[in-house]
Amino acid sequence: MLIFGDVARTFQELESKSGRLEMTDILAELFKKTTAGEIDKLAYLIQGQLAPPYEGIDLGVGERFVVEAIAHSAGYSPEQVDRHYKKSGDLGATAEELLSKKKQQALSVREMDIAYVYNAFMKIARSGGPGSQELKIKLLTELLNNASALEARFIVRFALGRLRLGVGDPTILDALSVATVGDKSMREPLDRAYNVCSDIGYVAKTYLESPEKIKGFRVQPFKPLMPALAERLSTPKEIMGKLGKCGVEMKYDGFRLQCHKKANKVELYSRKLERMTLMLPEVVREVEGLKAKELIFEGEALAYDAKHKRYFSFQETMHRKRKHGIKEAQKELPLNVFCFDILYLDGRDMTNEPYAERRRALETLFPKGILRASECRLVENTAELEKLFQESITSGLEGIMAKDLNAPYTAGKRKFAWIKLKKSYGKAVDTVDGVIVGYYLGKGSRAEFEFGGLLIAVRNEDTGKLETVAKIGSGFSEDEMVSFEKMLDKIKAKEPPEDLVYLIEAPDFWVEPKYVVEVAFDEITKSPTHTCGLREGNGKGYALRFPRLVQVRKDKAVKDATTTSEVEEMFGLQHSRS
């Protein structure tokens, strides 16, 4: 039985470390004490969640609830807790300190194991309806009553979604391997399993029950795969040089959908793997009507005006991602799904089959209709590729996707199995999907606005840190300024994000890293003020020259933002372009 005290002590130790290797070993020691029945719960808690995101399980406790629960449990008034929190800036630390000075001892304190804590959180998440607020506070208070001061620190941070141990998924997978076989040799099969089901708890549990099952792990309906991602190259010639004869598909600019079906049940998932089933009833109906009994496929959903044969823009299409007014939206923005890959068909896991094979299956499955196969042609030389690219732009599409005929589906990975070639934005050479980490107040004629610019960072995959790459100070419309002000005011923070590495002067406000924006730019330059790609010895980081906002990428989470190594690659591509 894994005692929660051991978990909290390990979390405390993890907090003081930053090296991946050290963190892996510390976690591996904890995993050695964990049974197959407990490991899923532990893995979810480390990720700061109770289940994979597509299950939609949310604790639903705000700061107010947590303050109340700490007050009840520690015997203080909510105002006293608030006052302490103002000083500490971290409710976890406040809970720890106030509980260590606990005025009224709870009558019976039980030692908690991981299952007890996890189940209590589940109960909090599942309580809904009238009176649920009181119930949530009561359940959290009970949990704190049984907790030591150190345990309380992590319970509170978890409840607020601010656990942030700095442990990424790759470290969890490495630690599972080290805990069981003493080295990282099981990392690869674990990684594949995780990429094709996106459920860390399920992978960890399956692995402890049977390592063999992980080696032969198969995709399953209703466990969404992490989307395969495309590399970028700048010219048709480079693409042909890399792939040779290849499949070239039109690149549609809508939102990505992963559709799952088994018997009568259908679920649709977004690029972030959130469930979208209820929002798109017409797509669900079409998938239900397909002959295949069990199926997973992917496509790009795009609003299409059949009467005028016109694609709606990405911005217009995105209005379909809504929870209300679905009937009206369906009429105004009817969707077509351009299906571009098939991953599972009636018991056959197709992810390891070559693209050419998957494409054959796809084309027989989707005749014309709302669901239809994306346009695709076999291309043998640069001139043909160039021609298709021009065709795509003239018909209002975004560019093309060139695909390696022999490549498997590279779930969760950005590989040269797919290469994108996109039209450019005015003078801009490319775009970066960056994380907003801070913002500025309006200046001069725009001083009336509580918003005037954004500080943008990208993700360093090797270190798990965010690194700044641009400050966007102009080019916002008044509507955009108002909407950013509203959006960012809610996530203002006193301190810079914990994972941020920066040299630039602090912005007017820091924010919790939550939103991703697409930023166009003219060039990538070396910069003394930005930390993207800055390493000991190389002196300068990368910065975006003339950065400007293209749009907010609501379909991307922080973990999907552009990485430092992608910026580095784009920097390299600039030279090949010129």
Residues annotated as catalytic are: 251
What is the total residue count of the chain? 578
- Backbone torsions φ then ψ of 45, nearest 5 degrees: -60, -40
Please say which residue, 340 or 515, places its beta carbon nearer to ligand ATP: 340
Place of tokens 């399920």: 202
Place of tokens 């080019």: 475
The two structure tokens encoding residue 5: 């005290």
Surface-to-core class of residue 364, CB atoms within 10 Å of its CB (0-12 exposed, 13-18 middle, 19+ buried): exposed
Binding of residue 374 to ligand ATP (CB under 6 A): yes
Residue nearest to ligand ATP (CB): 256
User: For ligand ATP, which stretch binds (CB under 6 A), given 56-64, 222-230, 483-491, 507-515?
Assistant: 222-230
- 537-552 in b/e form (b: 16+ CB < 10 A) is eeebbbbbeebbbbeb
User: For ligand ATP, which stretch binds (CB under 6 A), given 147-155, 249-257, 315-323, 452-460?
Assistant: 249-257
Report the site for ligand ATP in 429-468 (rule: CB under 6 A).
433
Report the site for ligand ATP in 477-536 (rule: CB under 6 A).
none
**What are 269's strand-pairing partners?**
258, 275
Q: Minimum Å distance from CB 331 to ligand ATP?
A: 25
Please say which residue, 414 or 526, places its beta carbon nearer to ligand ATP: 414
User: Could you give the string, one character per residue 290-329, with x where binding to ligand ATP holds by CB under 6 A and - elsewhere?
Assistant: ----------x-----------------------------
**What are 501's strand-pairing partners?**
467
Find the binder of ligand ATP among 123, 218, 256, 526 (CB under 6 A).
256
Task: Measure CA of the first residue to CA of the last residue in the chain; give whole Å.
Answer: 62
Spell out where 154-239 has E strands: 229-232
Q: How many residues bind ligand ATP (CB under 6 A)?
A: 14
Place of tokens 């602090």: 506
Q: Minimum Å distance from CB 420 to ligand ATP?
A: 5
Please say which residue, 151 or 267, places its beta carbon nearer to ligand ATP: 267
Binding of residue 239 to ligand ATP (CB under 6 A): no
Binding of residue 229 to ligand ATP (CB under 6 A): yes
Q: Minimum Å distance from CB 12 to ligand ATP?
A: 35
Sign of CA dihedral 515, 516, 520, 522: positive
User: For ligand ATP, which stretch binds (CB under 6 A), given 26-34, 66-74, 223-231, 464-472?
Assistant: 223-231
The span from the CA of 531 to the CA of 469, in Å, is 7
Binding of residue 340 to ligand ATP (CB under 6 A): yes
User: Could you give the string, one character per residue 386-425, with x where binding to ligand ATP holds by CB under 6 A and - elsewhere?
Assistant: ---------------x------------------x-----
Are the C-beta atoms of residues 292 and 365 closer than 8 Å to each other? yes
Q: Supply the DSSP symbol for 518.
A: E
- 131-156 in b/e form (b: 16+ CB < 10 A) is eeeeebbebbbbbbbbbbbbbbbbbb
Give me the residues that bind ligand ATP (CB under 6 A), please: 227, 229-230, 249, 251-252, 256, 271, 300, 340, 374, 401, 420, 433
